[in-house]
Amino acid sequence: MPIETTTATAVPVRFRDDVSVELVKHSASDGDVLWAARVSTAGEQSLEELTKDPERSKGLINYLMRDRHGSPFEHNSMTFFVSAPIFVFREFMRHRVGWSYNEESGRYRELQPVFYVPGPERKLVQQGRPGKYEFVHGTEEQHKATVAAMEQSYEQSYAAYQEMLAAGVAREVARATLPVGLFSSMYATCNARSLMHFLGLRTQHELATTPSFPQREIEMVGELMEEHWARLMPLTHAAFNANGRVAP
């Protein structure tokens, strides 16, 4: 839940323990996969084949997924508006293929004081050796100490940012004092194939045949994107799960 406090310079600071993902635009359906795949055999008649036999359509999508015929999953588009901390975006933008990004600017606008703090359900403690570790819940004291330290640090750094702006320093210089827990926002556009590649790496799932170990906060973004995508392309989503959550 967002909580509001005030800095020394009377700028309201907000703390969030969640992320948000809005599907702002889409042109994406299971039919897009089918017509693209059927052009192989039906040529320009393929659009007419779509509704003829639903079971065959489901089977075709599953076959494409299983045998990793990936290109038919590219003829669709989803644009998400994502609000998340900068450290999540830093990981997110490593995904280069089939993704387009536009992020808010710290040069052209004053950055808003919204910062990430872990919620009570966020596992805080890492146990085990490098390469083989797990996260477990911390104590209530550890959670309180974490939130208190973060909030104090955020308030100090945002106050320093405000002081520099008030002294006439450029936004692009003053922003250096702000931490990666600051929220940013971006439009991210992808297709089902590039989204599946992202989800295979950035979510943990019992059906994944190749497990990944993503940071929880980027996984939270991935889970919200997956909910939108599953509604738009239910057969493709089911085939992704049925085939080990490996992008074709």
Ligand X SMILES: Cc1cc2nc3c(=O)[nH]c(=O)nc-3n(C[C@H](O)[C@H](O)[C@H](O)COP(=O)(O)OP(=O)(O)OC[C@H]3O[C@@H](n4cnc5c(N)ncnc54)[C@H](O)[C@@H]3O)c2cc1C
Question: Which residue's CB is nearer to ligand X, number 14 or number 95?
Answer: 95
Neighbouring C-beta atoms of residue 245, cutoff 10 Å? 21
Measured from each CB, the residue nearest to ligand X is 96
Q: How many helices (H) and strands (E) does the chain have?
A: 8, 9
Q: Report, in Å, the least distance between residue 69 CB and ligand X.
A: 16
Helix (H/G/I), strand (E/B), else coil: 139: coil
Q: Is 68 helix (H, G, I), strand (E, B) or coil?
A: coil
CB of 218 to ligand X, least distance (A): 8
Could you confirm whether 90 is annotated as catalytic?
no
DSSP H helical ranges for the chain: 30-42, 54-66, 86-92, 140-166, 171-174, 192-202, 216-232, 234-242
Least distance (Å) between residue 70 CB and ligand X: 10
For tokens 């990981």, the residue is 91
39/208 with CB nearer ligand X: 208
* Known binding-site positions for FAD: 71, 94-96, 103, 191-193, 197
Three-class secondary structure of residue 176 per DSSP: helix
User: Could you tell me which of 145, 118, 125, 143 has the C-alpha nearest to residue 18?
Assistant: 118
Q: How far is the CB of 135 from ligand X (least distance, A)?
A: 13
- Give the closest residue to 85 by CA, choosing from 182, 226, 212, 209: 182
Residues at the site binding ligand X, with contacts judged by CB under 6 A: 94-97, 197, 201-202, 212-214
Q: Of the two residues 35 and 87, which places its CB atom closer to ligand X in the complex?
A: 87
CA distance 224 to 211: 19
User: In terms of CB distance, is 1 or 97 closer to ligand X?
Assistant: 97
Marked catalytic residue, from 202, 216, 231, 245: 202
Return binding residues for dUMP.
91-94, 103-107, 175, 202
Quick one: how far is CA 28 from the chain centroid? 18
Token reading at 62: 């599953």
Nearer to ligand X, 157 or 194 (CB): 194
Active site members: 202
